[in-house]
Structure 1
């Protein structure tokens, strides 16, 4: 089988695509892949490092306000469709799947017009403009949250989950905490604002460091590269905290996730897929700087099922942060209940579901 995968702009669109590709390669090693992205997007570097064939088109997103730039975007879209048709004709795929981002628009639209089986994958609880547009033309819409189904044609929607969930499931790996200077067997919380960090989360944690250093649990605190020096300067004033490991970035987050008990972080779709697949309770601080405030809606789904506590960034304080963290870390029963609720939301077989959907679609069409 020959498969075109497209998606880009953020890791939340790229990493699920790569997880899906890895699953299919394991089950069907003879499958050929072509990834279509943009030259300036993160995907250009990330996908090529995975030794996956890559082609680029030029496309930008629409502005939500009236703008002359939107007229340019229409012309870029039309050219992108033309370029995509040329690439598709050359590669001759059996199926095309888009995992989100502007680049999916012309690629998936071109495939649909060429009568190639098509799927889009929506990771969030609120769809982006591109996927809402494409849902009218594709054969199937794969989703991760039941709440998003109402935005798409009912006859096309399939609940599959996020392929990243399938990659993080595993047993607790010994040595991870020790490598960070912490102890095994002590409840551990991971605090992270993402790869670049999040200033409001960092501010709340910094104001809480003195109190955290006296807690009976331990902390892995990921500051983000750009905040690390400032955080370490502030932390040094308190002296060494034996129960707190401060790092700028964690490259193998999957291994760390299987070694911790609670996560404090943003509410991106991929992150939530990972923590629910393992069954980790969470304190979520949604980013308010995302389209349609979708992170808050993502987080609300976990809150409603008893798997998370949500703290809004505009209300975040050291006191609120500490009270929320203590309420989970100092209560074994609550932590277990939230973990069980989280696990029930997780879809560990997401990659397999999406893979099966693709092959069923191709076999049905041909």
Structure 2
């Protein structure tokens, strides 16, 4: 059955989504794609007053209706209650709109703006048989889109990892619906000539979206002096953005370019831009508030510096452009960071991460950015590889996939949903902090993940949620953040048992002051929480050379070993370190009762402790026979029903060493 037969005449389509241009342009692009195949008739856009859709949608000649909604803040109960009230009111406002318009298809692009329509369409499903399609542009979907996915007939995704986070099994990997101008062949040489870019010049394009990016603007302004000295002919086009108010993007960038960049700027006739040159004329700096024909500048550019929104990355990939992306931090689900990591893992971009500044303003380390920028500008082959890899990420047949999915839904046929997906290594371990820390330990210094989580540490340790602080403490150890030792000790003073345990675990991975270790071990061995006592014993064993002269530490270890009703985890940790501190005769007496312990973990600890003492040179050659005789009398059976017995393997290994 054809689409026309299924829906005689024309088809009504309702679009919703907004708040920002990133949630408005995708449904408009989807509409144009569907018009190429389906007989689209009436179209209605539903959004919120005062947001981007109020300006963009009428400019595209579409009618728009307004409802109420609010972002789900997730911070305070009162804010959540207000948001729920406004969303509920928006649902009530959406019901008569849907009953009157009766769309065949609803395209929702996400964001809190689309929540009322998607909820109302589900409630009205017995009366208004619309097909609901949700378009999720980012790798990590927001809460509203995850909820909307429960009601959707299909969720169109732009990243292969996204189905992992969606709450239904109806995802279709279509790719991002970029505008036709990004996929239409163009004469790059003619475009560069029209823009006044010399054939022998490297063109660098920097922009941070319509409102601009403070971190990108400041990086570019502070890099002008170095770019002027690099000896290459460069045309730098910089769109500062339209933001005003607390941050005036245009005024701030213009001032920085002249004061820190050393570039005198002059107005460009018949435009709202400025231009300036280095003293030798090799660097031409064009500063503009906004680029209306961004695609021309992207086509002409040799390297792009921009944000990591899904739309920006898709446009860069469609054109095969090499880029340094600077994801905006602090967005829901860290979705820009995850977008950037996904593309960078495929070799399609370089990434510089923002970090929180002491004044509350996010920033990028300038030296890190500048070194990367200069290295790329000096390596044409590397730029080519980046562009080629970015191009491979883009799905060229996205239009066919989108139309096929919608056509199948309208005809009631089976949709080709994503059934299997493979996550990149970073996302596989992201939600399991212990797996994450193990992964980070094996990552090379300066890797993408070590840089990203190194910045996350600073944010985590400032959190008021102890679980997030706990994650930051674990990351400190995995990333060897010796600069955080004082903060870790502070958390040992103020944190709960889990915090104190993980502080000790992190300290074991860092090089710290000896006096600090003594203090932590003393307090840890007396702690009320058993895992802290065990952790303190392990830390004591790591620093046994320095602690051997502290009689109070030895007395605490002896007392824990003798304690009748101590937790076995603590006993095992103490047993393993005792031979590092005490003469053999004393050690044999202290652990003699554990040689036939019911708990195999305690017997295993004796063997492990002797192995450590051997490795540390604490057992003399003339004592080998005595140790061997002591070990012979240890019970090495286990009740574990496994094809191998680890204690027996440990016994054989130790016995071989003693022989």
**What TM-score, normalized to structure 2?**
0.53
Aligned to 1:360: 408
Larger proportion of strand: 1
How large is the Cα RMSD of the aligned pairs? 2.2
In the other structure, the counterpart of 1:221 is 238
How far apart in 2 are the matches of 1:354 and 1:166? 14
TM-superposed CA distance for 1:40, in Å, is 2.2
- Equivalence map 1:224-303=2 (5 Å): 224-225=241-242, 226-236=248-258, 237-239=262-264, 240-241=276-277, 242-303=283-344
1:160 matched to which residue of 2?
A: 174
Indicate if the aligned counterparts of 2:68 and 2:86 stay in contact, CA closer than 8 A: yes
Distance 2:256 2:86 in 1: 47
- 154-163 or 311-320, larger mean C-alpha shift: 311-320
Aligned match of 2:62: 52
CA contact (8 A) 1:146 1:159 kept: yes
Shift of 1:181: 4.4
Confirm or deny that 1:86 pairs with 2:101.
no
Distance 1:277 1:287, change over 3 A: same
Q: In structure 2, what is the equivalent of residue 140 of structure 1?
A: 154
1:63 corresponds to:
73
What SS is found at the alignment partner of 2:254? helix
Distance 1:254 1:238, change over 3 A: closer
Partner residue, 1:212: 227
Q: Which residue of 1 aligns with 2:549?
A: none
| TM-superposition CA deviations, 1:177-199 (whole Å, max 9, x none) | 45554323533221112222222
- Cα offset, 1:357, TM superposition: 1.6
Number of residue pairs aligned between Structure 1 and Structure 2: 366
Radius of gyration: which is bigger?
2
Q: 2:222, 2:257 within 8 Å by CA — same for their partners in 1?
A: no
- Asked if 1:203 corresponds to 2:218, the answer is yes
**Cα-to-partner distance string for 1:75-105 (whole Å, 9 max, x where unaligned):** 3222322221211111111111100111211
CA distance in 2, matches of 1:98, 1:70: 23
CA contact (8 A) 1:162 1:351 kept: no
Report the Cα distance in structure 2 between the residues aligned to 1:323 and 1:4, rounded to whole angstroms. 48
CA distance in 2, matches of 1:174, 1:282: 20
Structure number with the bigger relative contact order (C-alpha 8 A, sep ≥ 6) is: 1
Task: Give the TM-score, by structure 1 length.
Answer: 0.93
> Which whole-Å deviations, capped at 9, do the CAs of 1:39-60 have from their partners, x for residues lacking one?
2221012101111121111111
| Unmatched 5+ stretches in structure 2 | 1-10, 243-247, 265-275, 278-282, 356-362, 415-659
CA distance in 2, matches of 1:317, 1:288: 14
C-alpha distance in 2, partners of 1:265/1:151? 26
Match of 2:207 among 174, 192, 196: 192
Contact kept, 8 Å, 2:197 with 2:203, in 1: the verdict is no
CA displacement at 1:112 relative to structure 2: 2.5
| Shift in CA distance, 53/359, structure 1 to aligned 2, threshold 3 Å | farther
1:333 aligns with 2:348: no
- Partner of 2:28 in structure 1? 18
For the 8 Å contact 2:205–2:237, the answer to whether it is kept is yes
